[in-house]
Amino acid sequence: MIKLFASDLDGTLLPRSHQFDELIVASIEKIVASGYYFTIATGRDSAMTTLNGLENKIYQICLNGALIKSPQGTILKKELIDKDVLKLILEEFDDLNLELKMFMNNASKHLVFNQSTQEILEQDICKINTFLEPGQSYNRFYHFLDEHSDAIINAPCDDNMIEITKKSVNKGTAIHWLGQYLYIHDDEIAVYGDGGNDIKMLSMFQHSYAPSTALKEAQYAAHTQLGPYYEYSVARHMLETIAKQK
């Protein structure tokens, strides 16, 4: 029996608008009202995720698993990038347009790489993002990632991004942790995803689902393929699941 539903947002749960519309909100509210748990599992910063009234009803796994928040907004778990590795990145790659995701006053915020190295190192950084700019070479940066693969990992949602977190961080391990926190076994969790940063999550759980519009690698990792994300296939599947379990 599924007790916890965990879903990626863009390209999975949300429609083409990338927003929580009335149908998505109503679906999740029905899931929670029926006694089930729900968590988003996204690469987004929680400050960039508008939940449209669901704030006090669901859990939030953000920044590819580096941050887990309760429905009350309490930070349950956070994973930070090692300061020594972060210092090397700041010193060697100030020419790249890196966006740093940090914690400040118990809230997740973002910090554009436009401050001094010391100012940035004083913050708790848990994720580094950048869009790959056409014509820009990133070979040196990828080589750096390989050299420090014992401390950090790059798990981008697609080939146009770099998304760096602490090596142990991913959506799958965060969902597993949340399941243990809620006394829920892995075989009682259903996960949904479509991108490169969902592959580990999809491969970890027996009940894993990918929309037909997902990356091929995500489809292969998932146990079952659903319809296109823009047809609300994920929300429909979750509602069908709880209906069958009654």
* Residues 6 or more apart whose Cβ sits within 8 Å of residue 183: none
Contacts of 228 (CB under 8 A, 6+ apart): 211, 212, 213
**Given this model, what pLDDT does residue 101 score?**
61
Distance CA 194, CA 122 (A): 35
What does CATH list as the number for 83-166? Answer: 3.30.1240.10
Given this chain, do its domains 4-78+170-244 and 83-166 carry the same CATH topology?
Answer: no
Which CATH number applies to 4-78+170-244: 3.40.50.1000, 3.30.9.10, 3.40.190.10, 3.40.50.300? 3.40.50.1000
195: left (phi over 0), alpha (psi -120 to 50) or beta: beta
* Per-residue pLDDT tens digits for 149-198: 999 999 998 888 899 999 999 999 999 999 999 999 999 999 999 999 99
- Provide the residue ranges of all domains of the chain, joining segments of one domain with +: 4-78+170-244, 83-166
3-state SS of 146-188 is: HHCCCCEEECCCCCCEEEEEECCCCHHHHHHHHHHHCCCCHHH
Structure tokens at 128: 């580094």
Q: Give the pTM.
A: 0.91
Q: What is the pLDDT of residues 73-125, one digit of tens each?
A: 899 999 999 999 999 988 888 777 777 665 433 344 445 555 677 878 888 88
Least confident span in 88-97, 141-150, 227-236: 88-97
